[in-house]
Amino acid sequence: MSTFDLAAGGDPDLISRPRRNRQSPAIRSMCRETRLGVGQLIYPMFLHAEGDDVPIASMPGQTRWSLEGLVAEVKRVYELGIDKVVVFPKVDEALKTRTGEEAFNIDGLIPQAIRRIKDASPDTCVITDIALDPYNSDGHDGIVADSGEILNDETVGVLCEQALAHARAGADIVAPSDMMDGRVGSIRAVLDQEGFSQTLIMAYTAKYASAYYGPFRGALDSAPSVSSGRPIPKDKSTYQMDPANVREALRELELDEGEGADIVMVKPAGPYLDVIRALREATNLPVAAYQVSGEYLMIKSAADAGWLDEKRVVLESLLGIRRAGADVILTYFAPQVAEWL
C-alpha cells in the first residue's frame, strides 16, 4: 500500500466502492433491483349477510362487510389503485351442512357479491375462494366421512359446482384453496365445457398447514368443529402441506401447471420465502403469495404497542416477498400501501 494519507483521502487501491450506489435517494432509486407497486396487490375482504359492517376482533383494522359496505369499500379502494379483490364469506350456521351445498347456491352470498361489485365497479377484478370450509358444518375444506377421512374426489365434485356458480355470477378468477388432489384439472374442464374458458384459475399450489391462519378463522368462524361426537380431524394436516417440505411444493406446482392453472400461489408468504423462490425458478407462470392473517396481526400488534414503525415494516415485508419472486401479493395492508405509495 502507498504511503497515501488514509485520513485525508482514503485507500487508493480500493477501486470498488458499493456505497457509491447508495449515497442519495436519486441514486438508490436508479439502482433499486426490486420494486413494489399497487398493481401487484390483491385486497382480501370479508363479507357476511348482516346489514351492518362489523370490526373483526381477531384482525384489528379489518372489517366483516355487509353487501352495501363491501361495494362501497371496493369502489373506495379502486380510486386508490386497488383493482383486484378476493372475497371470503362468513356463512350463517343454519346454511352449513356436511356436504356444503350452499357453496354452489347461485343466489348465495358470494354470487350476490360478485354481481354487485361488477355492477358498481366493472373494472375491478373479482377473485373468489373455492373451498368448503365456510359452508361445511365440520369446518373443513372437504367433506368429512363418518370415519373422519377427508373425502377427496367427492369434494372435488362440489368444488367444480362452486367454481361454476362463481363464474356464472361474473368472477374473473376462481382460486381453489382446498388442496384436494386433481381439483385444478377438474375445475378447468368444467369451466371450459360450460363456456367459461376465459375464467382464470389461481391455484393455492403450496398451501401449508400453518399456525399463522388463526385470526382468519376467527374472522370467518370456520375452524374445524370437534364437538359433533364424530371423529372430526382437529386440523388440516392430511390435505394442507407439511411446513417442513419444499420439494413437495415443486411436485404440486408440476401438477397444477399441467392441469391448467393460470397463476400459482404460496401461502403463507413471509415464513415461506424459500418456497416462493423455488416456485419462481421452476415456472413461467405468475407466482402469487398470501401475507396471511397471522403475519398481519403480528405487525399490527407490534406497531400498536409502539415497538415497530408500521409503514416501514409493512413496506419492507412486502418488498421481501417481492424480492423472493412473488409477482402478486394478497395482503390486508393493500389500501394502506396504496395510500403510502
Q: Which residues are catalytic?
A: 207, 267
Let me know: does 124 contact 74? Beta carbons within 8 Å: yes
- Mode of pairing for the β-strands spanning 125-130 and 84-90: parallel
| SS3 label, residue 93 | helix
**196 CB-near residues (< 8 Å, 6+ apart):** 164, 167, 168
- Smallest CA-to-CA distance from 183 within 155, 141, 148 is with 155
Q: What is the DSSP string of 117-161?
A: HHHH-TTSEEEEEE-STTTBTT-SSSEEPTTS-EEHHHHHHHHHH
Please report which helix (H) or strand (E) contains residue 98, including its range. Answer: none
Alpha-carbon span 77 to 155, nearest angstrom: 35
What is the DSSP code (8-state) at residue 43?
A: E
In angstroms, how far is the first alpha carbon of the chain from the final one?
47
Alpha-carbon span 300 to 131, nearest angstrom: 28
- Smallest CA-to-CA distance from 150 within 131, 169, 172 is with 131
Cell of 27: 441514486
Alpha-carbon span 267 to 318, nearest angstrom: 14
